[in-house]
Chains A and B, each alone.
Chain A
Amino acid sequence: MAQHYEPPKQAGVGQFIDSIVLMVLVFICLLAPVYLKADHSAAPPPEVQAEAAKAAATWQSLGQTPAQAQQWEKLGYTPETAQPIVENRFDYTVDPTALIVTIAVIVGYFVFVFRISDREYREVVRERFGNGGN
């Protein structure tokens, strides 16, 4: 029979600190792109809106057909207020280095998690079912 592992008891303070650590990690990692404005946003940023407002736009100059213009107007928009929305486009130019780094991060993460999990799982199985394998 495999040796039984008896974990240490965790004090209340330790439990509290562990809860906070995870939450801090969440906030730092997930709010970072928001504050660093590293990504595209569905809503146009204020500076784009201000820049767009400088030029006098018309529905035609925005490439809107009469039917499209009619729907914009029903929604309460004028060419000036619609301009930053119409001109807020995604840039799908792929940066090969960024793509390779992203792939490496995702693949590396899964390889790491599966390898360590396998090691831990063998320990669990040994303790639950004994040393004999199949």
Chain B
Amino acid sequence: MSEATTAAAGGSSGQPTRIALLKVLGPVHVWALGVGIVLVGEFMGWNFSVGKGGAYGSLIACWVVGLLYTCVAMIDSEVTSTVAAAGGQYTQAKHIVGPLMAFNVGLYLVMAYTMLEAGDALVVGDLMKAVAGEFGHADLDPRPFVVLSIAILAWLNYRGVFMTLTVNFVITAAAFLAIVILFFGVAPWEPGKVLLHKELLIDLPYGWIGVIAAMQFAMWYYLGIEGTCQAAEEVRSAGRSIPLGTMSGMITLLIAASLTWYVAAGLMPWEYLGQAITPLYDAAKLTGNGTLQVILFVGTIFSAIASANGCINDASRAWFSMGRDRYLPTWFGAVHPRYRTPYRAILFLIPIAVVFAFQAPLDQVISFSILSGLLGYTFMSLNMMKFRKQWPLGSIKRGYVHPFHPLPAIVLLVLCVATYFATFLGYGATLVAVMAFYILASAWFVFHRYKFVRRGDQFTMPWPRPKGY
């Protein structure tokens, strides 16, 4: 596989050297990549769903969207363990649907992760400002922290994937532990002592339409778990590591989401919670326990850093893969000769994340990221149906076969449609603007870029001819 997926590390010499990405990762790294990207969603962002539908609305939406992501994880585990190559869903689209879809899927990945990275950096900056304010430095400028976070993580990614994801494992585990400590710190066995669910929870403020609307930001509890498949080319055993890492990651997130909602809804009025930038840190503050406050400060920072770290890893892999296949300028398809990382893709995406972190409010940045993710999930449901049709079970070697097909694909599609409607409620202009971007980018690809792409070379899997073609 590595020979088939090597990349040109072309440089100024003009004589390309074939260098492959390193196969060094195990299930723990896959878990760290998936959960590391997503866990920040428990520390910030999910709570905007409370603003759209109230606390109960957010909880119902969290469960429904949890089902959406379970379908995503099931589908992803099968397709990725079979199409084990950098680029994840992008490479899947290339082999199963076709070049234009692949180009779009590559862009979904890059935009979803780059926006999420911008959101993560914003949270680091805002939290530093909030803490500085408590120590009498309310005029602290958070922007240097934003730039510094992105720059350090980009450097880490530049230097090597093994160290990057090992660091992610440690800080993600610490952030998850912070949520568990907070849960026990608020004494959930003594309702009314710290947690005030009875006094703070109210009925659905917008009725059931608010519950549907809340699905948009409920995605934030899990958005990015599908990023595990970006590591497909760098894991030692894709058939074992990807399903194991993804499914255990999904279980971790479902636990963390439930704990997060329970603690936050029992401490904050829903109107405040619906717009808070760092809700779990605020929850710790409300307990009046200084130790918890420090733990949640560290947890929030760690989760944001782990997420931004994973996002840089994933966005650069997708950008790199598109460069390697000539969907984007081939200059991006280079692997660092020493560190074996897609270094040009990593460097190119830094300023984009920084500009978004400075120019757009957090909920808009999150909306861009969510919509790109949502388009990707819509693709995944249609892609799964085509995959089983073009290569029925038994026709090719699969690392993992997910059960109950086509039910997960159908459920996923229905829930995606509901989430588009949820986004339309309140963020309709953003939805249309994002669609406009993908339509214009598609036109650019069809009428200009595709002429630079080699046709037969795009199909690199050792599979038989697809049925129906």
Give chain A's interface residues, CB within 8 Å of chain B.
Answer: 2, 4-8, 10, 12, 14-16, 18-19, 21-23, 25-27, 29-34, 36, 38-44, 64-65, 67-68, 71-72, 74-75, 77, 82, 85-86, 88, 90, 92, 94, 98-99, 101-102, 105-106, 109-110, 112-114, 116-125, 127-129, 132-134
CA–CA, A115 and B98, complex, Å: 9
Residues of B within 8 A of A110 (CB): 378, 382
Chain B residue, CB-CB nearest to A65: B199
Chain B residue, CB-CB nearest to A2: B456
Contact B426 A68 (CB under 8 A): no
CA–CA, A113 and B285, complex, Å: 49
Secondary structure of the A side of the interface?
helix
CA–CA, A42 and B196, complex, Å: 24
CA–CA, A30 and B469, complex, Å: 37
Q: Which of B228-236, B251-259, B267-275 contacts A (4 or more CB under 8 A)?
A: B267-275
Which of B206, B210, B332, B428 touches A98 (beta carbons < 8 Å)? B428
Question: B425 interface residue, CB < 8 Å from A?
Answer: yes
Question: B16 interface residue, CB < 8 Å from A?
Answer: no
**Known contacts A75-B272, A90-B213, A125-B459; is-contact A34 B426 (Cβ 8 Å):** no
Interface contacts beyond A29-B436, A113-B101: sample of 7 additional A-B pairs, CB < 8 Å, sorted by A:
A18-B329, A26-B437, A42-B362, A68-B200, A68-B269, A86-B271, A92-B425
Question: B167 interface residue, CB < 8 Å from A?
Answer: no
- Max chain A CB contacts within 10 Å: which of B98, B361, B367, B427? B98
Residues of A within 8 A of B440 (CB): 25, 29
CA–CA, A77 and B434, complex, Å: 36
Question: B164 interface residue, CB < 8 Å from A?
Answer: no
- Max chain A CB contacts within 10 Å: which of B93, B348, B429? B429
CA–CA, A25 and B111, complex, Å: 12
**Known contacts A36-B429, A134-B469; is-contact A71 B454 (Cβ 8 Å):** no
Question: B467 interface residue, CB < 8 Å from A?
Answer: yes
Which of A42, A65, A109, A121 touches B51 (beta carbons < 8 Å)? A42
Contact B452 A10 (CB under 8 A): yes
**Known contacts A10-B330, A75-B286, A123-B455; is-contact A102 B432 (Cβ 8 Å):** yes
**Known contacts A34-B359, A124-B458; is-contact A134 B467 (Cβ 8 Å):** yes
Within 8 A of A (CB), among B90-112: 93, 97-102, 104, 111
CA–CA, A75 and B236, complex, Å: 49
Q: B352 CB to closest chain A CB, in angstroms?
A: 7
**Known contacts A29-B434, A127-B455; is-contact A116 B446 (Cβ 8 Å):** yes
Q: B329 CB to closest chain A CB, in angstroms?
A: 3
Secondary structure of the B side of the interface?
helix
CA–CA, A88 and B434, complex, Å: 25
Within 8 A of A (CB), among B370-397: 378, 382
Contact A112 B437 (CB under 8 A): no
CA–CA, A126 and B466, complex, Å: 11
- Give per-residue flags for B279-316: 1 if the beta carbon is below 8 A from chain A beta carbons, else 0: 00010011010000000000000000000000000000
Residues of A within 8 A of B425 (CB): 90, 92, 94
Question: B364 interface residue, CB < 8 Å from A?
Answer: yes
Residues of B within 8 A of A14 (CB): 329
Residues of A within 8 A of B459 (CB): 124-125, 128
Chain A residue, CB-CB nearest to B198: A67
Question: B17 interface residue, CB < 8 Å from A?
Answer: no
Contact A41 B467 (CB under 8 A): no
Selected A-B contacts with CB under 8 Å, 23 pairs: A5-B455, A7-B454, A8-B452, A14-B329, A26-B111, A30-B434, A34-B361, A39-B430, A42-B48, A42-B361, A43-B361, A43-B363, A67-B200, A90-B206, A98-B424, A99-B424, A112-B439, A113-B101, A116-B100, A120-B450, A124-B455, A127-B455, A134-B469
Residues of A within 8 A of B452 (CB): 7-8, 10
CA–CA, A10 and B458, complex, Å: 18
Residues of A within 8 A of B444 (CB): 21-22, 25
Chain B residue, CB-CB nearest to A112: B442
- Max chain B CB contacts within 10 Å: which of A39, A42, A123, A124? A42
CA–CA, A95 and B19, complex, Å: 54
Contact A72 B52 (CB under 8 A): no
CA–CA, A31 and B359, complex, Å: 8
Contact B286 A71 (CB under 8 A): yes
Residues of B within 8 A of A106 (CB): 420, 435
Question: B328 interface residue, CB < 8 Å from A?
Answer: yes
CA–CA, A43 and B363, complex, Å: 9
Which of A16, A124, A132, A133 touches B98 (beta carbons < 8 Å)? A124
Q: A110 CB to closest chain B CB, in angstroms?
A: 7
CA–CA, A106 and B420, complex, Å: 9
CA–CA, A90 and B282, complex, Å: 23
Question: B433 interface residue, CB < 8 Å from A?
Answer: yes
Contact A109 B439 (CB under 8 A): yes
Contact A114 B467 (CB under 8 A): no
CA–CA, A31 and B210, complex, Å: 26
Contact A42 B465 (CB under 8 A): no
**Known contacts A18-B449, A41-B363, A124-B459; is-contact A92 B433 (Cβ 8 Å):** no
